[in-house]
Structure 1
Amino acid sequence: MSTSEPIQFHFQKLRRPVLSPSQRGFDSKNTYNPAVVKRRGTFVMLYRAEAEGEKITGRIGLALSDDGVNFVKHPEPVMEPEYGWEKVGVEDPRVVKVGDTYYMTYTGYDGNVARLCMATSKNLLNWKKHGVLFDEFPFEKNGKANWTKSGAILAEKMKSGPFKGRYIMYFGDSNVWLAHSKDLLHWEYEEQPVLTPRGYLVEPGPAPMMTDEGILLIHNEAFGEVGSLVYTVQAALFDLDDPRRLLWRTEKPLLQPEFEWEKRGWVNNVVFAEAMVEHEGRFYLYYGGADRYVGLALSGTPGGLP
């Protein structure tokens, strides 16, 4: 693995959140960990929402913006728990568009086990759920089998190598594994992790990007001990032919908790990225702050990333 830095990162955070909990309603406790895409020039944010006084760990809310900074919320959630495997929460959406369809990976939580799930939409408002992606998964987390979450899909097929003509997805929230698919709905996973934690855990962030240097995966890493973890945003680069092969990873975080609203919230000391959007030559990196707010960091100069 190369130690030289093939891509220079310079992100500048906005000092205040771009989304905060409402005074009442389904998102009155926490609003965080969003997916963001642009549709017909409008930024569409799908965010994890929790209400005061409820045990539900996530509904999915929607907010719109013309500039990517000032968002107006839709008054009702666009996705709620329905099935047994998600009866406690639908959480942490990530969205990519392929053709005329939006594909959302999200976590379904039944109160005991978290499972990676899929939903699709044509308009980002009405979603069709396709269920759990992996009925069985051999890696245990906290002594619980079949635990999977956090799927970040590359929105184009591999052009060469062992997965040529297939879509790939990085997923997991302790290690990161690779999965591949012909149709984006049915997935097969590789048994060995492709990215392992340097601290407590590692978890995919926004959708991976094809660059000249390799496949870029911005991801989240937590360091420390349970009860005093610090979540940071990092990056890794994988081989263009074999997306299992790690080429390089950041030594210093792209983002780390700094502001009070990143250090104090529902879970303290968290910055957690799940979405990145290109706009007017810059990259807008959206992240959850302390599991309560949505923050935004901008690439330092136009064209600051490949």
Structure 2
Amino acid sequence: MKHYKHILFVNVALLILLLQFTSQNVFAQNLQTQNQWALLPFVKENQYNPILTPGSSIFTDPITQQTVKWEAAHVFNPAMIIRHDTVYMLYRAQDSAGTSRIGLAVSTDGHHFTRNQQPVLFPDNDSFKQYEWPGGCEDPRIVADANGTYYLTYTAFDGQLARLMVATSTDLIHWQKHGPAFAKAYSGKYLNVWSKSGAIVATYSPNNIVATKVNGKYWMYWGDQFIWAATSTDLINWQPIEMPKGMKPPVALRGQAFNMPQLQIVLPTRKGKFDSDLVESGPAAMYSPNGIRLLYNGRNIPAIGDKNLPEGTYASGQALFNAKNPVQLIHRLNHYFMKPTEPYEITGQVNNVCFIEGLVYFQQKWWLYYGTADSNIAVATCNKPL
């Protein structure tokens, strides 16, 4: 009898271990399956980073008529696109006075860039000076249309208010400014509220990033307190999405959101996580029939967020929206996929910043370009197929 009890005990113990092992494997497989939609993993190219640092080029400013070293202080937050098998980088550059201009650099290998000696987009004595001076032109993001015209969203900063702007080009060097993206929406209701960081929904290919319509309209994710959405018929004039009657915000309004309470928040901040304080759009949003993937930036406050990340840390997240209803969030990573770890990411103009803004598929892999500590530019790569 004792012998049978011993066998029974051993069998039960083995069954428990088998169930635990199976349960852990199922959990791991489910976790992997849940995140299959995400673009992962990214590995920092530390042997090359930072790939762009401040430069010594000079430029005669058209407003002050003074010669300035327009990129001598900081370079960061680049937009990226492929043209003629070449990687084009449009990056934010600051002079010693803090004015931002957008520079251009090109590469045939993704690591080594040759700069244009003059900025390609900058404050001028034009009708947009009132929005762009003295702060400048900041934080570009780029897509193309099916006809080969490039559309750049960027931030104009007049020293007090940020406004989301649009410019177009056919060669990435000569740009036509079109002014504030929301100037005509709701009779100018959102012209003079804080707006920036416009990531247009697009289809990525090895050769281009092409704006893609959903339900007959172009879509854009934008904002840097929460992330909101907007639509357009021409990629120039945009209309922010307001909440339907009876809808309530998913979180309590904070910061700039108090000035635009009617807008529908599509990606809120989250308590206890790396994106507790602020969320901000990254590169052009990635359209596919299975969903719209948005890579975004999150800022942390340990008191309400991730206690293991320093105050003000910018880390990188991903979210997936419904391909047929771009305001419907269907998946979101629970954890950042990139954070500051390197000296040039931890110390700089703003400490503890990895700010993702440019993404291309080039040479059979993904290249994610980002600003480091608001001071330099670096890159990380991912081998996941297109």
Whole-angstrom distance in 1 between the partners of 2:333 and 2:161? 31
1:194 to 246, 260, 266: 266
Q: How far is 1:32 from its partner?
A: 0.3
If asked which structure has higher relative contact order (CA below 8 Å, sep 6+), I would say 1
State whether residues 166 and 177 of structure 2, in contact with CA within 8 Å, keep that contact through their aligned partners in structure 1. Answer: yes
State whether residues 223 and 231 of structure 1, in contact with CA within 8 Å, keep that contact through their aligned partners in structure 2. Answer: yes
Deviation string 1:112-169 (CA, Å, 9 cap, x unpaired) is 0000000000000000000011245569xxxxx600000001134335xxxx111000
For the structure 1 residues 114 and 165, does the alpha-carbon distance in structure 2 shift closer, same or farther, using more than 3 Å as the test?
A: same
State whether residues 200 and 225 of structure 1, in contact with CA within 8 Å, keep that contact through their aligned partners in structure 2. Answer: no
State whether residues 22 and 28 of structure 1, in contact with CA within 8 Å, keep that contact through their aligned partners in structure 2. Answer: yes
1:206 to 264, 279, 283: 283
1:18 to 18, 35, 51: 51
Whole-angstrom distance in 2 between the partners of 1:242 and 1:235? 17
More deviation, 223-232/234-243 = 223-232
Deviation string 1:176-205 (CA, Å, 9 cap, x unpaired) is 111011111111111211001121100000
SS of corresponding position for 1:43: strand
More helix by share: 2
Whole-angstrom distance in 2 between the partners of 1:305 and 1:197? 30
Q: How far is 1:55 from its partner?
A: 3.4
Whole-angstrom distance in 1 between the partners of 2:80 and 2:101? 16
2:371 counterpart residue number: 288
Q: Structure 2: which amino acid aligns with 1:252?
A: H
Equivalences, count: 291
2:95 maps to 1:55: no
Gaps of 5+ in 1: 140-144
Whole-angstrom distance in 2 between the partners of 1:122 and 1:133? 19
1:229 to 312, 320, 323: 312
Whole-angstrom distance in 2 between the partners of 1:81 and 1:91? 11
1:142 counterpart residue number: none
More deviation, 74-83/225-234 = 225-234
- The 5 A counterparts of 1:130-141 are 130-135=178-183, 136=188
Whole-angstrom distance in 1 between the partners of 2:385 and 2:221? 20
Whole-angstrom distance in 1 between the partners of 2:212 and 2:85? 25
Whole-angstrom distance in 2 between the partners of 1:158 and 1:131? 22
- The 5 A counterparts of 1:23-102 are 23=56, 25-52=69-96, 54-56=97-99, 58-82=100-124, 83-87=129-133, 88-98=135-145, 99-102=147-150
SS of corresponding position for 1:266: coil
Q: How far is 1:228 from its partner?
A: 2.6
Q: How far is 1:305 from its partner?
A: 4.9
Whole-angstrom distance in 1 between the partners of 2:357 and 2:351? 18
Gaps of 5+ in 2: 1-29, 58-68, 203-210, 243-263, 271-275, 304-309
SS of corresponding position for 1:154: strand
Q: Structure 1: which amino acid aligns with 2:122?
A: E
SS of corresponding position for 1:126: coil
Deviation string 1:217-275 (CA, Å, 9 cap, x unpaired) is 00100011699300011100000110000011111212100000000011000000111
State whether residues 364 and 385 of structure 2, in contact with CA within 8 Å, keep that contact through their aligned partners in structure 1. Answer: no
Whole-angstrom distance in 1 between the partners of 2:350 and 2:324? 38
SS of corresponding position for 2:216: coil
Q: Structure 1: which amino acid aligns with 2:193?
A: N
For the structure 1 residues 305 and 177, does the alpha-carbon distance in structure 2 shift closer, same or farther, using more than 3 Å as the test?
A: farther
More strand by share: 1
Give the greater-gyration-radius structure (CA).
Answer: 2
Aligned alpha-carbon RMSD (Å): 1.9
1:165 counterpart residue number: 216
State whether residues 6 and 213 of structure 1, in contact with CA within 8 Å, keep that contact through their aligned partners in structure 2. Answer: no
Q: Structure 2: which amino acid aligns with 1:253?
A: Y
Whole-angstrom distance in 1 between the partners of 2:198 and 2:190? 17
Whole-angstrom distance in 1 between the partners of 2:302 and 2:180? 30
2:163 counterpart residue number: 115
Whole-angstrom distance in 2 between the partners of 1:150 and 1:220? 10
SS of corresponding position for 1:244: coil
State whether residues 348 and 373 of structure 2, in contact with CA within 8 Å, keep that contact through their aligned partners in structure 1. Answer: yes
More deviation, 225-234/190-199 = 225-234
State whether residues 59 and 90 of structure 1, in contact with CA within 8 Å, keep that contact through their aligned partners in structure 2. Answer: yes
TM-score (norm 1): 0.91
Q: Structure 2: which amino acid aligns with 1:180?
A: T
Q: Runs of 4+ in structure 1 displaced over 6 angstroms?
A: none
SS of corresponding position for 1:95: strand
For the structure 1 residues 258 and 137, does the alpha-carbon distance in structure 2 shift closer, same or farther, using more than 3 Å as the test?
A: farther
- The 5 A counterparts of 1:144-163 are 146-155=193-202, 156-159=211-214
